[in-house]
Structure 1
Amino acid sequence: MKKIIFMGTPHFAVPILESIVQANYEVVLVVTQPDRPVGRKRVLTAPPVKEAALKHDIPVYQPEKLKDSYEALFAYDADLIVTAAYGQLLPKELLEHPPFGCINVHASLLPKLRGGAPIHYAILQGEKETGISIMYMAEKLDAGDIISQRAIRIEEEDHVGSLHDKLSEIGAHLLIETLPALFEKTNDRIEQDETKATFAPNITREQEKIDFTRTQEEVYNHIRGLHPWPVAYTTHEGKTMKVWWGEKSINEYPSKRAGEIAHVDEEAIDVVCGDERAVRITEVQLAGKKKMSVKELLRGNKQLFQVGQVLE
């Protein structure tokens, strides 16, 4: 039985770890990020992958900086290291150690969207498809040779959460399909075309703010490309307002300013975009308040959103 070290941290990696266990490979160690404080009360919380590993009685290792303590992994004599959204780069010495190498399950069709937020950028940039790439790891981020890929269509109503879950499951299935050929050394190994590489660095706070001068399509993609995390925002009456969800409005508003509220009804508000079309905002979070539907908010305060107000 082949011995595998699995390295991953968030929910995305859990089905991938589970698939390896269910396929009867021996997972000798799980490496994940340290427990972190979460929420307003800063409760120390284990990463999802750690919780999954402990259910299967798999030893867990949580180095703050892998580069300073990677030698501990050598004692496990693993045949292969599999990573999925681990969150740290592997040092060269570790990459070269396992007989069958180190592979990564990445949520894009490489060489497109290398980096830590490929699912977000696929939606933000209006891509029509994305997918999973399984590739050999190299010292350069997400630049190793591709072993296998599977594409998936991005649906009009998809958001980061829905696409994340689809890609996680696809990654789990594709990995199990890929491993036999890898261990038999009959797998493909396709070099990435560096001229086609694009990048998806982690989302910054500045990127979360909606720019209503963009087109309706771009603003809609912005909202769903940050839903349900980290969530897009704008300002309403000078205060930050998170925009959790919205849709494309069928209405057009010529001669209205970008960001102007052009229509209010019981369910939503129409906010004008740069192409005189609008997004229909249906769920928001006012500063210091919980997330609520626009319908709920207007029931409590019908004057909260007014035609002519401008969201900055």
Structure 2
Amino acid sequence: MKVVFMGTPEFAAFCLRALLESRHQVVGVVTQLDRPRGRGKKLAFSPVKELAIKQGLPVLQPSNLADPTFLNILKGWEPQAIAVVAFGRLLPPAVLSLPPYGCINVHASLLPRYRGAAPIQRAIMNGEKETGVTTMYMVEKLDAGDIILQEKVSIPPEMTAGELEQELAARGARLLVRTLDLIESGQAPRIPQNEELATYAPPLRPEEERINWEEEAAKIVDHVRGLSPLPGAYTLRGGERLKVYRARVWEGEKEDLPKGRPGQVTAVFPREGFLVRAGEGEVLILEVQPPGKRIMSAVEYLRGYRLQVGEYLG
């Protein structure tokens, strides 16, 4: 099958690699405009563009998906299907109606749950024990098309959003190839979504990155996991941001700990990390990043930065 691929981040690049290794023919790639990255804010290619160029594929980066010039080139590629993975923009009707087999999307949730831009982060932040990946036929409404295939994935207690993304990307890549195989053979299922069960995963807001120590310990830990490694949860220490990448609910002895108030350091363990009082329970901080420094274990942080029991964070 002749396929046009539309995607941008590394999650999408997993799927593009799988398509390139399949019997399907990728005839062109569409990705977002180059964006500034790093300290120098230099324009950088998306992971999908980098892969496409290495493979010698034609690449389009339209600022307007309804632009006649873009649509004419897309038509000239004569795709039988368009595979869309984390592209970052809704497709206009002119694109959705172009390929005879339709536009097929890979979404990192068990639709109709967690429609939207941040399904992986939101699932972990909400303490979900299970999520998955879905392929579906795209329609004009966000993530609302008929389901083709789904695969469930469990979320272990300490898994971060970054780790879950890697797992879902690998599974989504395989699921996309299976989906296109089924579509080409005329055996693909088409399961309407139940709108009554739909939930949404809106984009992350900058204010959500700050840890609220008034929350219960388990909620704080899920918050940290859901934002790790990007954009990263943070608290304040001495007016500066201290990012927190790994944490765990403290299940050790509590009788000897000072009661403290939310955000207060209640214990320092030189070989493990440090405890912070939550609205309910204690959070053991395991991995942090001080301003201008690399990510490090809490043990390393304690060696280089004096932290006292009774000190407040946030």
| TM-score bucket of the superposed structures, by smaller chain | over 0.9
Aligned partner of residue 66 in structure 1, secondary structure:
coil
1:286 corresponds in structure 2 to 290
Shift in Å at residue 25 of structure 1? 1.0
Instruction: Give the Cα separation in 2 of the matches to 1:8 and 1:263.
Output: 46
| Partner deviation per Cα, 1:154-201 (whole Å, 9 max, x = no partner) | 111211111001000101111122222212322111111111111111
For residues 223-302 of structure 1, what are the structure 2 equivalents within 5 Å?
223-251=224-252, 252=254, 255-266=259-270, 267-275=272-280, 277-301=281-305
- 1:90 equivalent in alignment to 2:81: no
Structure 2 residue aligned with 1:142: 143
> How much has 1:45 moved relative to structure 2?
1.0
RMSD: 1.4
Q: 1:211–1:151: structure 2 CA closer, same or farther, 3 Å change rule?
A: same
Distance 1:195 1:175 in 2: 26
Secondary structure (helix, strand or coil) at the match of 2:88 reads coil
User: Which residue of 2 is the match for residue 307 of structure 1?
Assistant: 309
Q: Point out where structure 2 has 5 or more consecutive residues left out of the alignment.
A: none
Q: Say whether the 8 Å CA contact 2:66–2:94 is kept in structure 1.
A: no
Match of 1:17 in 2: 16
Percentage identity across aligned positions? 45
Q: In structure 1, what is the Cα distance between the partners aligned to 2:247 and 2:29?
A: 39
How far apart are residue 254 of structure 1 and its match?
Answer: 7.3
One-letter amino acid matched to 1:26:
Q
Question: Offset at 1:83?
Answer: 0.5
Q: Determine the C-alpha separation between the residues in 1 that align with 2:61 and 2:94.
A: 19
Aligned residue for 1:177, secondary structure, equals helix
C-alpha contact 1:66 1:88 (8 A) present in aligned 2: no
Alpha-carbon separation, structure 2, partners of 1:299 and 1:128: 35
For residues 265-310 of structure 1, give each alpha carbon's deviation from its aligned partner in whole angstroms, at most 9, with x where no partner exists: 21311011111x2111122222333333332232234xx2111112
Which runs of 4 or more aligned residues in structure 1 lie more than 4 Å from their structure 2 counterparts after TM superposition? none
TM-score, normalization: structure 1? 0.95
Name the SS of the counterpart of 1:104 in structure 2.
strand
Q: Which amino acid aligns with 1:308?
A: G
> In the alignment, does 2:136 pair up with 1:131?
no
SS at 2:66 equivalent: helix
Which residue in the other structure is 2:66 paired with? 67
TM-score (normalised: structure 2): 0.94
The SS at the match of 2:250 is strand
- Deviations 1:76-101, CA, capped at 9 Å, x for gaps: 11100000001111101110111000
Q: 1:238 to 1:20 in 2, by over 3 A?
A: same
Q: How many residues align?
A: 308
2:258–2:266 CA contact under 8 A, matched in 1: no
